[in-house]
Amino acid sequence: MPRPSRRTVLATGSALGGAALVAGAGALPAQASPAGAGTPDSVTADPDAWRTVLDDADLVWRRMPKTWYEGPYLGNGFLGSGVYQEPGKNAVRFNVQHSEVQDHRPEFGSLFGLARLPIGHFTLEPAGTITGLDWRLGLRDAELTGTLTTDRGTLRLRAHVHTSRSVLAVEVVPSEGERGFRWVFHPADAKSPRTAFQPTPAGYQGNPPAQVSTYEDGTEAAVQSLLSGGEHVTAWREVTQGERRTLYAGVRHSFPSATARDRALADVRAAAQLPYDTLAAPHRAWWRAYYRKSFLSVPDARIQRFYWIQLYKTASAARRDAPVMATCGPWLEPTPWPATWWNLNVQLEYWLIHGSNHLELDAVTRALGEFRENLTAEMAPAYRADSLGVPRTTDARLVNGGATSNAQGYGVGVPGQDPPTPEVGNLTWALHNVWLSYRHTMDEAILRDVLYPLLRKAVNYYLHFLEPGADGRLHLPATYSPEYGGNTRDCNYDLMLLSWGCRTLLEAVETLGIDDALAPRWREVLAKRVPYPTDANGFMIGADIPFAKSHRHYSHLLAVYPLYELTGAAADERALIEKSLAHWVGFEGALQGYTFTGAASMSALLGKGDDALKYLGQLMSRFIQANTMYKETGPVIETPLSAAQSLHDMVCQSWGGTIRVFPALPAAWTDLTVHGFRTQGAFLLSAVRERGVTRWVRLVSEAGAPCVVRHGIAGPVEVRDGAGRPLPHEDAGDGAIRIRLPKGASALVTAAGDRPDLTVAPVAPNAPAPRWGLPA
């Protein structure tokens, strides 16, 4: 279909620098090159492309949201606020929760004694009865705006959680009849949310009630002392300027010292000196720069909006220096899972940061590096000298606590010994996320300082138990495949992670120039480990357990995705993947949202774009809530975020040293634009597809890594550098070319003789779609 009219936004270099779109490729000229002139591809960028897709993705509410799954949400990785009707009341709730606020009683374990603790909420209580509302969550500024209507008048509001201050600001402008509205703070009961779902451990009790104080300047504070020592404090102050009344609220946590009150009061008093717009100005600038680091537009309006909302959600929930996301992110709600989960949730939560070019949100690499010593205590004493693992659940500092799944007081089970669930592969899988961060940046500090030393010990734990069998192959004793039930020898979850770990370690020592004494053992594992157990239905759970019941988790398929150890390159391997995938999703009953994101990504690996879209469609219709949140027994946020990664996998894949452009697009997606997409090898990809044809592909190299690209352009191609000069390239087979691309250089690939318009802009939607939120 014809591309829509739009202002020109041209393919440029990296957006890593923030608001500017240029990095590595040199400064942009003052004037854009004429469209279609085939001139060098470093030209000016028009911000209207981002404005267009972001404004189109705004969530709207014409009906009152009743739950967290329906309402607006604000956050900065630490402080979070969900907005919805106070249950059973004529009021609007603004939650205040914080990702650092937790208990510190490890003797009761991670789900009780180290659990995230609820803080409380404010209620906006109007003078009249609420009769309607018109709200908009503006992604571009990360700000909620709109009007609440009552039978006495209106309340116009604006709200944001500041991106760099621990402050929620809500400005309200009442009409004459609503001048009597008020704010009320309701401290929460400071105990583990899991107490509402499961029996409490012997001796466990909640923390004492919060104590509220008012100070001479009108600032108030609710001080929540903890039985373990320390405290968390919510401070707030309302300031009136003319007809405007602005609530400033902040949260701080301290342990073991009781210093949070003074910090929370200082935060609020400093913010309250600033009018709302003055306070919001740097917040808005940060968010606008954030989005400009990448760009994606697809012709499915519902999915495009969903994608940009996930980018908003991720930066609201994650920052490099924030705790690794717990199951709810910073928006703690009643949940049986008030901790950080390491057997799937963490991994899925952070995948989208790589392709979308947002490594500044990578808390996983930072936390594993910073708190590695805490993982030692989670191992059985006999293995602490040379092994590491991470339990299924931890607090923000990777501590599991004493009430673990075994009686010995350590969190990681011992293969073949610890009932009921020796789940030992979680750290290796988490380190795959770290490896992705390394591969997408080629930053050897990540490899040297975090990935290599931790992965070496994670793999070493397996080596203690790997033994030769009568068949001459190396076997593992019984371990646990997450969530399936029952322990099994030669568990695929562990064999697949072990194989990836050994291969990655061998590549790491070669890159780092390390002569590691364990390298021969890693090679032996790869040469002699038992084949992954399979039967007539495909991959089994392990040697003792077939895949024979509905199972939401793809723990038995990790070698296919996300590890890409098996990719279907050979016909028999492809048939095995297809059979296993069909068998897995063929059991209804226990399937959940992330079942379908995994199935979509595996379909994308196989080049089946229509199947991938079908699975994402099932996810949207069956599981995604009105505001794009997700729930099972309680709120969890990993599934929508992993759906954004499934979309990435349809648009670009870069495993195995080859960048694959548009590898799995549905037939209906004849037009598509991607820009600033970060790939393995530290390349930034821009590409445009028009009327079912890839018109051009551009790569900027940040690290000078080998560049092999399967561009998808039919027939002979031309490759030119940033000055328009021919670049040498050679056929790499299977539709790919190899380009010599030094650090900082760029390559533009087009069909021979073609001089396309190098415009990056939104594509027209194939059909209208409703907005997310609760529209009319």
**Three-state secondary structure of 566-593:** CCCCCHHHHHHHHHHHHHHHCCCCCCCH
DSSP, residue by residue, 46-90? -THHHHHHHHHH-EEESS---STTTS-EEE-SSEEEEEEEPTTSS
Q: What would the two tokens of residue 356 be?
A: 């979308």
Local confidence band at 45 (pLDDT 50, 70, 90 cut-offs): low
Task: Tell me the backbone φ, ψ of residue 675, rounded to 5 degrees.
Answer: -150, 140
**CA distances (Å), origin 109, targets 202, 403, 408:** 12, 4, 13
| CB environment 47-86: b (16+ within 10 A), e (fewer) | eebbebbbebbbbbbeebbebbbbbbbbbbbbbbbbbbbb
Local confidence band at 634 (pLDDT 50, 70, 90 cut-offs): confident
62-291 CATH:
2.70.98.50
Question: Is residue 705 predicted with pLDDT exceeding 80?
Answer: yes
Local confidence band at 409 (pLDDT 50, 70, 90 cut-offs): low
Q: Taking Cα atoms as reference points, which of 522, 163, 500, 566 lies closest to residue 347?
A: 500
pLDDT tens track for 48-86: 999 999 999 999 999 999 999 999 999 999 999 999 999
Question: Is residue 101 predicted with pLDDT exceeding 90?
Answer: yes
Q: Taking Cα atoms as reference points, which of 136, 99, 25, 64 lies closest to residue 741?
A: 25
Distant-in-sequence, close-in-space partners of 717: CB < 8 Å, separation ≥ 6:
711, 737, 749, 750, 751, 752
Q: What is the mean pLDDT of residues 393-398?
A: 97
Q: What are 374's strand-pairing partners?
A: none
The Cα–Cα gap between 559 and 492 comes to 9
What DSSP designation does 529 have?
Answer: B
Average pLDDT value over all residues in the chain: 92
Question: Is residue 212 predicted with pLDDT exceeding 80?
Answer: yes
- Lowest mean pLDDT of 31-40, 365-374, 443-452, name the range: 31-40
Q: What pLDDT, on a 0 to 100 scale, did the predictor assign at position 590?
A: 86
Strand 182-187 vs strand 167-174: parallel, antiparallel, or unpaired?
unpaired
Q: What is the mean pLDDT of residues 155-171?
A: 98
DSSP, residue by residue, 588-633? -SS--HHHHHHHHHHHHHTT-HHHHHHHHHHHHHHT--TTS--BSS
Q: What pLDDT, on a 0 to 100 scale, did the predictor assign at position 420?
A: 85
Q: What would the two tokens of residue 377 be?
A: 């205590």
Is the Cβ–Cβ distance between 162 and 271 less than 8 Å? yes
Local confidence band at 419 (pLDDT 50, 70, 90 cut-offs): confident
Q: What is the mean pLDDT of residues 195-224?
A: 97
Q: What pLDDT, on a 0 to 100 scale, did the predictor assign at position 32?
A: 30
What residue spans define the domains of the chain? 1-46+293-333+629-776, 62-291, 362-591
pLDDT tens track for 480-530: 999 998 899 999 999 999 999 999 999 999 999 999 999 999 999 999 999
Question: Is residue 11 predicted with pLDDT exceeding 70?
Answer: no
Question: Among the CATH numbers 1.50.10.10, 3.40.50.720, 1.10.10.1400, 3.40.50.2020, which is that of 362-591?
Answer: 1.50.10.10
Distant-in-sequence, close-in-space partners of 501: CB < 8 Å, separation ≥ 6:
428, 431, 455, 458, 459, 462
Q: What pLDDT, on a 0 to 100 scale, did the predictor assign at position 41?
A: 52
1-46+293-333+629-776 CATH:
2.60.40.1180
Question: Is residue 478 predicted with pLDDT exceeding 80?
Answer: yes
Is the Cβ–Cβ distance between 16 and 749 less than 8 Å? no
Distant-in-sequence, close-in-space partners of 114: CB < 8 Å, separation ≥ 6:
102, 103, 104, 105, 106, 108, 339, 394, 395, 399, 400, 401
The Cα–Cα gap between 294 and 305 comes to 15
Q: Taking Cα atoms as reference points, which of 358, 224, 452 lies closest to residue 677?
A: 358
The Cα–Cα gap between 432 and 736 comes to 26
Q: Taking Cα atoms as reference points, which of 432, 433, 387 lies closest to residue 412?
A: 387
Q: What is the mean pLDDT of residues 197-211?
A: 96
pLDDT tens track for 280-338: 999 999 999 999 999 999 999 999 999 999 999 999 999 999 999 999 999 999 999 99
Question: Is residue 29 predicted with pLDDT exceeding 60?
Answer: no
The Cα–Cα gap between 172 and 169 comes to 10
The Cα–Cα gap between 312 and 291 comes to 8
The Cα–Cα gap between 354 and 240 comes to 44
Local confidence band at 28 (pLDDT 50, 70, 90 cut-offs): very low
The H-assigned helical ranges of 326-473 are 345-350, 352-355, 363-370, 372-376, 426-441, 444-446, 452-463
Domain 1-46+293-333+629-776 shares a fold with domain 62-291? no
Q: What pLDDT, on a 0 to 100 scale, did the predictor assign at position 37?
A: 33
Q: What is the mean pLDDT of residues 126-136?
A: 98
Q: What pLDDT, on a 0 to 100 scale, did the predictor assign at position 408?
A: 55
Distant-in-sequence, close-in-space partners of 70: CB < 8 Å, separation ≥ 6:
84, 625, 626, 627, 774
Q: What is the mean pLDDT of residues 430-439?
A: 98
| Residues in the chain, total | 776
Q: What is the pTM of this model?
A: 0.94
Q: What is the mean pLDDT of residues 691-720?
A: 97
